[in-house]
Structure 1
Amino acid sequence: MTLELLPNELLLQLFEYLPVVDLFRAFLHLNSRFNNLLFNQFRKYRLNFQSTYKQDFDIICRRYLPSIIDRTISLCLSDDDKTPDQSNCFVSYNLALCDFRHLQSLSLYYLRCEIVMCQLMNECQHLHSLIYLKFSQCKFRHEKTTICCLLSSIWCLPKLTYCYLDIYFNGKEYCILPTMISTSLQHLTIQWATYRLTDLAHIFQCTPYLQYLDANYSIDLDDTPLSFNISSIVTLKMYVYESRPTLISFLEKLPNLCHLTIKTENTNMDKYQWEQLIVNHLPKLKILRVEMLFYIGDNENKEQRVDDLLNSFRTRFWLEEHQWYVRCDWDRCQQDSCRDDIFLYTLPYTFNDYYLHDSIIKEKSTCPDVNFWLVMPRLDHLKSLSVGIDDLVQTFDTLCQLQTILDRAPRLYSLTFERWPETFTDMPPFNYSSNSVRLLHLQDIDRPYNHRQCVILSRSSLGKQCEILSITVKYRRSILYLLRKMTNLRALNFISQEDPWADRNQHYSSSSSEDDGTDDELIAWLKDCLPSTYTITRCTEGVTEFGTRTIGYPIRLWIG
């Protein structure tokens, strides 16, 4: 049976599973029937422009989007290294969010421009069909008050059910407080913002049907305890610092809590306090995921402290009734700031990040036969991996172990190398191989790639298949070579040591982290050497070494 023999109803269902770029490539202008289906009958366009080639993005926005804008139900834009400056390109086509009358889902990633952010947020208020809203890894230097005010108005969207806010204001504390009551919002995540208990009480009162909350909780001993139960909350994720009594008092007000994920620092809850809380106040709790950071004194025996902690969790309640196992790690890092830290967490490890600095890490667990591959039982879902070797650990065992990890991670997409010892004359990615890796981040290595090393990179297995590359080079001409030889590249982020811009712009200030290249000698040189279809922008957010010294301001190329 050929595809054309299928009835229109089945074809329209099939269209829902295809990315819009593939949909137009496969069926547009095939015949009048398919054109009619695409432009008149299909009413569920989902536009995900993450990882889109620039040429495809331009064609969709310029030729097709005006015809399908009122039948688009999902839109995703991203300004990350794969699609730099995409949101600004979107706005430049005179496309306004308020024209997406039936938009149900909006996702915005890596926004840096306050002007674009404020424009999009103002237009968001007209999206009365919006159900899902996500801002992920957005970062701004200015306009904190304006943006927070606009975000507070999200509660007025009549159908909004899911809201994810991951917005960072250069270390400045903030919180987003609603200005009205939402009867639709059920799922809320607010990263980076810090809430006192009184602020959380306000959110609960303005979001009476909230079932899921993920937020940072700042304990204040002067806070007034909650005077009411929050019966709607089923799932809670929190980061809490200090004050065990206030935390316990808060959790006691969640009688229907089924799933608790919590990271604490210097809160020091032992098994007895957890057990009493769960038995007496959280009868419906089924899933408990905890990571606790303990500090110990200089003269305290770390291993004895670990034994005492673990022994308290070796009871029938933990091991038999719930089968909740815990593990303690210590000596993860030999730096003075974290040398005396003890980490206690439930198994298997389910948090997003696992920081391991030294190979001499010590561990003990209440679970028998625990090892790394039990703590991380599978790497099937590992998408991003960072690898670094410092001058204290100069063994090739780590390099050999990396290939083992790559072989166990079939979905690994992003691979980062950092902190490379001076004694290693070769530069990564060496002879590593992975069928899935498409993004290489080499900008955090302590020294630049010379032209010979760029040639080796372009000929390596990972280099040949690389689509997104971040790198620091010694010579600017190496960038032209990489663009010519790495034929699968669609985006390139680089710092060049032959770039005079950084020295002249140490105190640059702007409402955007992207610069259009005015009076930028390197951008002017690139525009002379590269096709006009490339998007070339300067990132005014500097890359730092060890979080202190700025080593450069990257140029970002979206290859057209």
Structure 2
Amino acid sequence: MNDRSIDRDLSLTFPSIISLKLDVRDAPFIFTRLLRCMPNLQHLTINSLDTYFGNLKNILAGRVDDLDIHVHNFYRGKPSIYMNGSKWEEIIVKHLPQLKTFQLKMKIQYWSRNNKEDDIDKLITSFGNHFWIRERQWFVRCDWNPEPTSSYICLYTLPYAFDHFDTHTALIRSKSTSPKENDYWLYDHVRNLHYDYSLTNNSALSRACFSKIHYLSIELPSSGNIWPTLSTFIHLN
């Protein structure tokens, strides 16, 4: 598809569209032009496999009131120098100054045996300045597996606003920018839950409450009697 054909196809305007969901895989310039055809757009949801900073700046070069972003990052670089809080702040201040609702989930595949905890601390800290905590009061939580062989990192805004949540290991650590660490453990937007039953009281996620799930996938212990385990879920509808 060349630029001329894109301009022809996107020459119309759609003033009646106020909500849009995008699955972004490539060619962000197409989506930028698409958004320009929707002058009254207020709510935007983006599902993306890429958070290259330039791409997001191009896509979000417009004004919306509510923004949901669900991104899956698969890379080997440091998360603290990729799409961190400082870069999201730049996008919001420069391109979305009227933004009222910001809901973000970043799943990061990060392979590193050195300084992993330090890099995660830097990522979380980047969402802890005056803009995030005082001005907007938008808090984030980061869950990760501390094992050197694990690449699992998931960062999301609070309260959790997405319908799917998965846990694949009992060794989950968690840290948030919320002033009260005991807040925001109710995940009532979650409808689909993948649950590792080996999660113990030592896991950070043992405090999480999923009160409105519709679909449940459970990883059961590989040894021992599983019937006591199953009986704890018998009350579910």
- Normalised by the length of structure 2, the TM-score is 0.73
Contact 1:262 1:289 in 2 (8 A): yes
Alignment of 1:181-330 (within 5 A): 205=12, 207-220=14-27, 226=33, 229=36, 230-242=38-50, 243-252=52-61, 254-255=62-63, 257-266=64-73, 268-330=82-144
**Matched AA of 2:227:** D
Contact 1:225 1:246 in 2 (8 A): no
Alignment partners' CA distance in 2, 1:313 and 1:394: 28
- How far did residue 318 of structure 1 move? 0.9
Alignment partners' CA distance in 2, 1:307 and 1:382: 26
Q: Which residue of 317, 341, 345 corresponds with 2:156?
A: 345
CA gap of 1:202–1:302, structure 2 versus 1, over 3 A, is farther
CA gap of 1:335–1:236, structure 2 versus 1, over 3 A, is farther
Aligned-partner SS, 2:186:
coil
- How far did residue 217 of structure 1 move? 0.8
Alignment partners' CA distance in 2, 1:227 and 1:215: 10
Contact 1:383 1:414 in 2 (8 A): yes
- Normalised by the length of structure 1, the TM-score is 0.34
Unaligned runs of 5+ in 2: 75-81
- Indicate the RMSD between aligned Cα atoms, in angstroms: 3.9
Partner of 2:224: 423
Contact 2:139 2:176 in 1 (8 A): yes
Count the aligned residue pairs. Answer: 221
Alignment partners' CA distance in 2, 1:289 and 1:237: 9
- How far did residue 294 of structure 1 move? 3.1
Alignment partners' CA distance in 2, 1:430 and 1:320: 45
Alignment partners' CA distance in 2, 1:220 and 1:313: 28
Alignment partners' CA distance in 1, 2:202 and 2:101: 37
Aligned-partner SS, 1:215:
strand
Contact 2:57 2:95 in 1 (8 A): no
CA gap of 1:244–1:266, structure 2 versus 1, over 3 A, is farther
Partner of 2:186: 377
**Matched AA of 1:214:** K
Alignment partners' CA distance in 2, 1:248 and 1:322: 20
CA gap of 1:274–1:396, structure 2 versus 1, over 3 A, is closer
Q: Which has the higher contact order (CA 8 A, sep 6+)?
A: 2
Contact 1:219 1:241 in 2 (8 A): no
Alignment partners' CA distance in 1, 2:177 and 2:171: 20
- How far did residue 386 of structure 1 move? 4.9
Aligned-partner SS, 1:305:
helix
**Matched AA of 1:429:** L
Contact 2:19 2:41 in 1 (8 A): yes
**Matched AA of 2:169:** D
CA gap of 1:433–1:296, structure 2 versus 1, over 3 A, is closer
Contact 1:266 1:293 in 2 (8 A): yes
**Matched AA of 2:48:** V
CA gap of 1:269–1:383, structure 2 versus 1, over 3 A, is closer
Alignment of 1:478-493 (within 5 A): none
- How far did residue 362 of structure 1 move? 1.1
Aligned-partner SS, 2:155:
strand
CA gap of 1:236–1:298, structure 2 versus 1, over 3 A, is same
Superposed CA deviations along residues 487-539 of structure 1, whole A, max 9, x for unmatched, are xxxxxxxxxxxxxxxxxxxxxxxxxxxxxxxxxxxxxxxxxxxxxxxxxxxxx
Contact 2:46 2:69 in 1 (8 A): yes
Contact 2:28 2:58 in 1 (8 A): no
Aligned-partner SS, 2:133:
helix
Contact 1:263 1:290 in 2 (8 A): yes
**Matched AA of 1:210:** I
Contact 2:163 2:191 in 1 (8 A): no
**Matched AA of 2:45:** K
CA gap of 1:291–1:330, structure 2 versus 1, over 3 A, is same
Contact 2:170 2:200 in 1 (8 A): no
Contact 1:417 1:428 in 2 (8 A): no
- How far did residue 240 of structure 1 move? 1.3
CA gap of 1:235–1:424, structure 2 versus 1, over 3 A, is same
Partner of 2:173: 362
Alignment partners' CA distance in 1, 2:28 and 2:213: 44
| Identity percentage of aligned residues | 25
Alignment partners' CA distance in 2, 1:387 and 1:224: 35
CA gap of 1:277–1:378, structure 2 versus 1, over 3 A, is closer
CA gap of 1:319–1:264, structure 2 versus 1, over 3 A, is same
Aligned-partner SS, 1:326:
strand
**Matched AA of 2:225:** F
